[in-house]
Amino acid sequence: MQNKVAKNEKKCLTLHKMQFILKLQVAKNATERGEMLFKLNLEKVKELRKEKGFSQEEVAKMLGLKTVYPYHRKESGRQSFTAEELMMLSNIYNIPCEKFFYSCDCEK
């Protein structure tokens, strides 16, 4: 019975991950067209890291990065987080991935 529950939880996580990646791709395509649907709230990423008491180096290791430098570049906005990294951060901070974004008013 536990094995069946674990499989269902894994399917739900996979489905959630696929939905999230699809949303990111839609946002990326819109951005390439000059529109902005969602923007990553880097201050929220930094704030959550500090609230949990993690250093950039610790989070970099949790994400599987070899050094702190790529994580620093991502948190400062010089490099983009991947969808996989955002999923990992949502698990680390125990929040939904959508909480890393805020909607942008696209009216010009």
**Which pTM does this prediction carry?**
0.65
Domains of the chain listed by start with CATH number: 2-103 (1.10.260.40)
pLDDT along the chain (108 residues), means of 10: 47 62 64 65 95 97 96 94 90 89 54
Written as one string, the DSSP assignment of 39-53 is EE-HHHHHHHHHHTT
Cβ atoms within 10 A of the Cβ of 95, count?
A: 13
Encode 27-38: b = buried (16+ Cβ within 10 Å), e = exposed: beeeeeeeeebb
